[in-house]
Structure formats: structure tokens, C-alpha cells
Amino acid sequence: MSAGAIHLSLGWHDWLNLFAHYLMLSLMSLGGAISTTAEMHRFLVEQHGWLTQAQFNDAIALAQASPGPNVLFVALMGWHVGMNAGSTTAAFLGVAVTMVGIMLPSTIFTYQVAQWGHRNRELRAVRAFKQGMAPLVIAMLLSTAWILASSAGRGVADWPLWALALASCLVVWRTRLHLLWVLGAGALLGAFGVV
Amino acid sequence: MTPAPSADHPRPASLSHLFVAFTLLALQGFGGVLAVVQREMVERRRWLTQDEFLDDWAVAQIMPGPNVVNLAMMIGARYFGLRGAMTALAGLLAVPLVLILVLVNLHARFAGNPHVEGALRGMAAVSAGLIAAAGLKLSNVLLRSAMPAAWCIAITVLGFVLLALLKAPLAWVLLGLGSLGCVLTYRKMTS
């Protein structure tokens, strides 16, 4: 990791600026926090120079590889900003500022809307919304799978990865085998260079 | 609606039950938790039916914020209101957050190791398969939709082409195809 490539001294107004930025990103994050990564890059790497390009990339890759929601890449960015500012305490502050910022507004908003929808679930409009969205929701799942499967980015040379993705899809679709076995098999095949 | 607990529609017994369930669920989610939510909540624990899952998922998608976080909150709220929402959220995030901070400190040591990189690549491919399987499993609810099946399939295929192949911005696709689906369904509904 290239921590140490940047040495920052951040004042309280910088932290406030970071917090405010993530509050705003939260409300823009339709389709998930990942949809605002381009804007995070512009703000953290290009405009302020608080993160190196390598730290930015690592944060996203590591969050993909680690168990848990992908939104944790935001915590890693906060962590790196804090480490660049010179201390573990600052790193924890960075995690708190970015995670609370990205979660708070969207969480309050979504909770309110979801409760309203639940109370009015017999309304024809609410039912039509839910049934009408279902085909698109399925399309979004399949698209996410497609984009994740093509993320290695080596084109035709990736055919073993596609075969693995297809095989795990069939296994999970058609059997009740525990997901961790399938993931473990994928990790082993990868570690020994089969895919 | 808080469904009465029954053999085929059980519910979380307590807040700590909910917390542990979401922690275990989050820890199985490599490259995203979505596929695991469907597996755990609908198939294993049966706290949600397929239809309820899709309903909540549609709302979770369209709202701002991380989708899985929104979904966890809505599932928690279904059973224990605001306390449930906060508990599910904490379960989903607390342990994975600690874990990822440990990992980021180990990462420097293992970055560039071909075995580690290979394992990560393999797990990403499997995650892709898991997510696709979640989508395929949910497709049976389309049969019960007010919208004719052919239209459902057309929207699904078009959505996939736009999002996966043409990389169209999600907001526009949701607005365009999503409202098309809603209007068509609304007109077909009898009451």
C-alpha cells in the first residue's frame, strides 16, 4: 500500500468538509453507494489530494473481496485519509466521518418512504409499483452478475472464470448447497491457478 | 404487515436473533451480500416470501443509499419497527467493518501474492454466479404479475441490455423502463 505517499495535516474544517460531502453523496447514491464512486474520486483524489490513486483502487478491490456489504469501501477511504493525516486515531475518525455521512441521510429517507409504502400497501398505485418494478429488479440482478463476472477484464482469456460463474449459478439455482462451499471452491480454483 | 409466526412463515424471535442473523448473513457475502440475503431470508429462515423480498428489494433499489443496507433496514422494520431496522443495520455492518479494518492492515503484506489474487478472482466469479442465480429464482414471481408475461420478459431483457451491455446510467433506466412497467401494470390491474 502506498500509505505515506501523502502527508496531510487536516483541520476541523477539512473533516467537516469531508462529512458534508458524504452527506450529499448519500442522497445521490441511487442504485447504491458504488454509483457515486466517480464523484468520490473527483473529490478525494483530484480536488483535495487526500488519497492516492492506488489507495482509491485498493479500497474498492478490498471491499469486494472482504465479506460484508460493498459500502464498506467508503470506510476504507476514510481510513486511508486518516492514515495519510498521520495517525490511527485520525484513521478511526475518518471511518466514522465517511460512514456516518454516507449512511445517515439515505437511511432516514428510505426508512420514512418504506414505512409509508407499507402502511399504504393496498393502494393500487403501490401494488402497481411493486409488481411493475419486478422485471427490472431481475434485470438489475442479472446485470450486476454480468458486470462482476467481466471485471477481470481480460476478454476471451477469462473463459474459465465465466465457466466457474455459470457453474456456481446452476449449483445455487438448482441445489440447496451452502453458499460458503461454493465460494470456498471458487477460492481454491483461483488460488491454484485453474481459473 | 407483521405475519403471524407459523411453520412456513417464521419470524425472528428477538432483536439479538435478528442481529446475529444479519451478522452471519453479512459474513457470507463476498463481493456483495445481495445473493445471500435472498438465500438466507427467503429460503433458509423463511422470514420473507419471494414476493415480499421482491417488493422490499424494488423499494431498496430505488431509494438512495446502499441497497443491501436499505433492504436490511426494511426487513428489520417489518418485525420490530425502528428498533428492528437499527438492529439489522448494526448486524450487517458491525463485524464486517471490524474485519475489513483488520484486512486493510494485512493487505500490504499479501498484495501481489498470485495465490491470494487468484483466490479473490475465483471468489468474484462465484459471486457473479450467486447473484445471477438469485435473479433467476425470483423470476417465478413474474408469472403472478398483473402484467402479461411477454411484457415482463421484454422489460427484463431490455433492462439487461441497457445496464449490462450498453452501461446506461441506472437512474435513467429506472425512470424510463421502471415507470413503463408500473404504468402497464397499473392499467392491467382490475381494482
User: What is the ipTM score, two decimals?
Assistant: 0.78
Whole-number Å distance between alpha carbons of A24 and A137: 25
B86 at A interface, C-beta within 8 A: no
Higher-confidence residue of A95 and B104: namely A95
User: Which is it for the CA torsion B167, B171, B176, B181, positive or negative?
Assistant: positive
Whole-number Å distance between alpha carbons of B185 and B108: 52
A69 at B interface, C-beta within 8 A: yes
Percentage above 70 pLDDT, chain B: 93
pLDDT > 90? residue A60 = no
Per-residue confidence (pLDDT) for residue B191, from 0 to 100: 61
Residues of A in contact with B115 (CB under 8 A): 191-192
Grid cell digits, residue B74: 426494511
Residues of B in contact with A79 (CB under 8 A): 101, 104
pTM for the model:
0.76
Instruction: With CB atoms and an 8 Å threshold, state whether A190 touches B97.
Output: no
B3 at A interface, C-beta within 8 A: no
Residues of A in contact with B22 (CB under 8 A): none
Confidence of residue A130 (pLDDT cuts 50, 70, 90): confident
Confidence of residue B93 (pLDDT cuts 50, 70, 90): very high
Per-residue confidence (pLDDT) for residue A7, from 0 to 100: 83
Q: Which has the closest alpha carbon to A65: B111, B84, B54, B177?
A: B111
Q: What would the pLDDT profile of B167-181 be if each residue is shown by its tens digit?
A: 887 778 888 998 999
Whole-number Å distance between alpha carbons of B54 and A125: 16
Whole-number Å distance between alpha carbons of B42 and B50: 6
Option in B103, B121, B185 nearest A62 (CB): B103
Q: What is the mean pLDDT of residues A129-146?
A: 84
Q: What is the mean pLDDT of residues A185-190?
A: 91
B42 at A interface, C-beta within 8 A: no
Instruction: With CB atoms and an 8 Å threshold, state whether A142 touches B107.
Output: no
Burial of A142 (0-12, 13-18, 19+ CB in 10 A): buried
Confidence of residue A2 (pLDDT cuts 50, 70, 90): very low
Looking at CA atoms only, how far is residue B71 from chain A in angstroms? Answer: 10
Option in A145, A188, A191 nearest B131 (CB): A145
Q: What would the pLDDT profile of A163-181 be if each residue is shown by its tens digit?
A: 999 999 999 888 888 777 8
Whole-number Å distance between alpha carbons of B145 and B53: 15
Per-residue confidence (pLDDT) for residue A4, from 0 to 100: 46
Other Cβ atoms closer than 10 A to A55: 24
Whole-number Å distance between alpha carbons of A100 and A98: 6
Question: Which residues contact residue A169 at a Cβ distance below 8 angstroms, ignoring those fewer than 6 apart?
Answer: A145, B128, B129, B130, B132, B133, B136
Instruction: With CB atoms and an 8 Å threshold, state whether B66 touches A180.
Output: no
Enumerate helices (H) and strands (E) in chain A, giving the number of each: 8, 0
Instruction: With CB atoms and an 8 Å threshold, state whether A28 touches B64.
Output: yes
CB pairs under 8 A between A and B: 369
Instruction: With CB atoms and an 8 Å threshold, state whether B159 touches A67.
Output: no
Instruction: With CB atoms and an 8 Å threshold, state whether B65 touches A103.
Output: yes
CA distances from B96 to A17, A73, A145, B109 (A): 27, 11, 22, 20
Q: Which residue of B has its CA nearest to A138?
A: B135
Q: What would the pLDDT profile of B12-64 be if each residue is shown by its tens digit?
A: 999 999 999 999 999 888 766 877 888 889 988 999 998 888 888 888 877 88
Q: CA triplet B51, B55, B56: central angle to 5 degrees?
A: 120
Burial of A24 (0-12, 13-18, 19+ CB in 10 A): middle
Q: Best mutation site among A142, A176, A188 for testing chain B: the one with the most B CBs within 10 Å?
A: A142
Per-residue confidence (pLDDT) for residue A1, from 0 to 100: 41
Strand-pair partners of B141: none
Whole-number Å distance between alpha carbons of B88 and A139: 26
Option in A95, A121, A125 nearest B186 (CB): A125
Strand-pair partners of B30: A67
Confidence of residue A184 (pLDDT cuts 50, 70, 90): confident
